[in-house]
Amino acid sequence: MTDADAPVGDITIDVHRGAPSDDELAALLAVVSEAYAVEAAHATVSDDAVRTAWSVTQRGLRTPLRRELGWGRFSG
């Protein structure tokens, strides 16, 4: 049994216009269920995109200090 064939709880469909037959509602449900199953199957993240904890916390290097400025720049 695949995920698409798995039993589902009660489904409610509200029709706002017209009077669809049971066959039309069954066809609609089949199409929407299949579209959802295809989308869910393709919505997984590839293993290539995984970042390690080290790369997540990694920061760039700080720019070097400008030693020619000295300590006297404070004019408080």
For 37-50, the pLDDT digits (tens) are: 999 888 877 667 67
What is the pLDDT at residue 2?
A: 59
- Mean pLDDT confidence for 57-73: 78
Give the C-alpha separation, 27 to 20, whole Å: 11
**Quick one: tokens of 15?**
């029709």
User: Is the overall model pTM greater than 0.85, yes or no?
Assistant: no
Give the residue, 30 or 68, on which the prediction is more confident. Answer: 30
- In whole angstroms, give the CA distance from residue 35 to residue 32: 5
- Say what the pLDDT of residue 35 is: 94
pLDDT at residue 34 greater than cutoff 70 = yes
- Does residue 76 register a pLDDT over 60? no
For residue 46, give Cα distances in angstroms to 2, 12, 38, 43, 62: 21, 34, 16, 9, 33
